[in-house]
Amino acid sequence: MEYFVQQLINGVTLGSIYGLIAIGYTMVYGIIGMINFAHGDIFMVGGFIALIAFLALVAIGVTAIPIALFLVLLIAMALTALYGWTVERFAYRPLRHSYRLAPLISAIGMSIILQNYVQIAQGARVKPLPPLIEGGHTLIASESFPVQLSNVQIIVILTTLTLMLAFSWLVAKTRLGRDMRACEQDLKMASLLGVDIDRTISLTFVIGAALASVAGIMYLLYYGVVDFYIGFVAGVKAFTAAVLGGIGSLPGAMLGGLLIGLIETFWSAYFSIEYKDVAAFSVLIVVLIFLPTGILGRPEVEKV
């Protein structure tokens, strides 16, 4: 029982990171109906920016961990959002009215560019970060297998929950959220009604990139390493999570992320770790056979 509870905690933590990345996929798809395959690499860039920012702050004498982490969060979100804007401006906007395959190819190209750019700028080796947040709480004090909830895991889960609630409020209650929902329903009609389509789509990419940067920071704090290839792996997992939960649905993206994290963690704990990806994609296939739009996805209605 103790082992199960510990793996449940680990799975929720990993799933929270996947969920934050998956929100970016589902936001872009919900508005323009395209998959931003460079989004995983935006997450990777956010992790590297966080690492560089932290080292720079330490170099100038900012050694208080809470202050340093807060400043790193602001710097990483701002700079990674700029990367998100750049992807939209140069890889999507010029091809928005082209045939549907063109933006997809452009996004894959941007993904490769970001990977190689970071590899050249930072090197191919794994970049470590010493543990910044230590300690935790013992939930079940068992002699055979004590269940631990680390402070890093608490921060990851609470940060994800807070951002999910804040973003849900933004979409439901603000003018930008109303514009997003209008664009999701019909881009042409939203434009005719006065919605600035270009601004709304750009802000969607910016917000998605900022959330991905937070996921990058959480990944760096949790695992203590980053490299140029983590964006591809995490991006595929997050995209899978978005499809599993129902791409286009924000709660579905978070639910899918949690499910993928739990499947991977439990499979690695009770079976062979080499086949954890096989287990995750097998569950995706089974779900899509019976629920083609995902768990919380809505069927598309053809506009006539």
The neighbouring-strand residues paired with 147 are 140
Averaged pLDDT of the chain: 87
> Which distant-in-sequence residues (6+ apart) come within 8 Å of 76 by Cβ?
46, 49, 50, 53, 213, 214, 216, 217
Q: Work out the percent of the chain whose per-residue pLDDT is above 70.
A: 98
Burial 131-141 (b: 16+ CB within 10 A, else e): eebeeeeeeee
Categorize the per-residue pLDDT at 299 as very low, low, confident or very high, splitting at 50, 70 and 90: low
- Is pLDDT above 70 for 300? no
> Do residues 116 and 229 touch, judged by C-beta distance below 8 A?
no
* 67 vs 132: CA distance, rounded Å: 12
Q: How many domains does the chain have?
A: 1
* 101 vs 59: CA distance, rounded Å: 46
Q: Where are the alpha helices (DSSP H) in the chain?
A: 2-32, 39-59, 65-87, 101-122, 151-173, 175-185, 187-192, 197-223, 230-245, 250-270, 276-290
Query: Residue 302's pLDDT is what?
Result: 52
Domain span holding position 51? 2-231
Does residue 41 sit within a domain?
A: yes
* Least confident window among 107-121, 179-193, 212-226: 179-193
Work out whether strand 147-150 and strand 136-140 pair parallel, antiparallel, or are unpaired.
Answer: antiparallel
User: What tokens does 188 get?
Assistant: 């042409």
Q: What is the pTM of this model?
A: 0.90
Residue 89 is given by DSSP the state I
CA 294 to chain centre: 18
User: What tokens does 286 get?
Assistant: 């089974």
Does residue 264 sit within a domain?
A: no
* Least confident window among 228-242, 244-258, 263-277, 288-302: 288-302
* 139 vs 219: CA distance, rounded Å: 23
Mind listing the pLDDT tens digit for each residue in 4-16?
Answer: 889 999 999 999 9
What mean pLDDT do residues 76-93 have? 91
Query: Residue 301's pLDDT is what?
Result: 54
Query: Residue 259's pLDDT is what?
Result: 92
Query: Residue 73's pLDDT is what?
Result: 92
Does residue 269 sit within a domain?
A: no
Query: Residue 186's pLDDT is what?
Result: 84
Does residue 111 sit within a domain?
A: yes
Integer angstrom CA distances of residue 296 from 13, 38, 246, 281: 21, 24, 5, 18
Does residue 68 sit within a domain?
A: yes
Query: Residue 171's pLDDT is what?
Result: 85
- Is pLDDT above 70 for 304? no
Query: Residue 246's pLDDT is what?
Result: 85
- Is pLDDT above 60 for 77? yes
- Is pLDDT above 90 for 82? yes
Does residue 280 sit within a domain?
A: no
CA-based max dimension of the chain: 67
* Least confident window among 97-101, 115-119, 218-222, 290-294: 97-101
- Is pLDDT above 90 for 115? yes
Query: Residue 53's pLDDT is what?
Result: 94
* 205 vs 210: CA distance, rounded Å: 9
What mean pLDDT do residues 64-92 have? 91
> Do residues 68 and 51 touch, judged by C-beta distance below 8 A?
no
> Do residues 62 and 48 touch, judged by C-beta distance below 8 A?
no
Does residue 125 sit within a domain?
A: yes
